[in-house]
Chain A
């Protein structure tokens, strides 16, 4: 499964905020760290704010802060804000009647999607932060 650019930006951002939940982090700091457009990131942060995952702070310094529970929020909670998980049949672009080949391919693609969703659903931000720590301690693990 390939995630869209906005989804990846959201994941990078949420991980940054969750790693330091007390700190208000300016959007520009995240944009610079990951080499991304601040304008593009602003749209992603607006969506995360709307979903209650982060909250924005006004005034001097400003920025955003993590507003969710690291032990409850899963990767899926973030990803589903930006990805369309419609079944393969609904994503078919042409209007022709599905053939047996289409239906068989749909069954295989659905299987892949279901496994991906189960994986994203089972990984909380707390688990993700542990994984990152393990990578820091043992790159390539």
Chain B
């Protein structure tokens, strides 16, 4: 387990494409700029798991402060393990490494958010001891056809 390097990016893009069926190179380049080496000082972490010198998994997370009154906590928002490398504890090791970095930042709570039909990843986080938290995700379709020229500041 170690922090991502620029040379890992091709492998990360390929791994994500293999798992999701969609190559998103521009997206991963933006994620690397935000969460790669430059992000570490701001409590953003992009970790990769290596086996035989090859990237077989990655996990990304960051410390977020005071969202809707919630004290600082460690958010995990991306996890992929190559299908052929699963059931070997790689996700567990990635989560342990990320958790350790959060602990070093003084964070004592770990949080994530994912689709409720994503049974594979939900089961993984459950197996790590995660339970439903106090936040409830909500969403809505925005009404069509309402022109709005002014930027709206989000309320927190």
Contacts and interface: CB of A to CB of B under 8 A. Distances in A.
Interface in A47-93: 74
B97 interface: no
A48 B43 CA distance: 48
Contact of A114 (B116, B119, B122): B116
B116 A126 contact: no
Size bracket of the B interface: 10 to 19
B116 A127 contact: no
Nearest to B131: A131
Contacts of A74: 119, 123
A123 B132 contact: no
A118 interface: yes
Nearest to B116: A118
Interface in B76-120: 116-117, 119
Given A127-B123, A127-B126, A127-B127, 7 more contacts: A74-B119, A115-B116, A118-B116, A122-B123, A122-B126, A124-B123, A130-B129
Interface of B: 116-117, 119, 122-123, 125-127, 129, 132
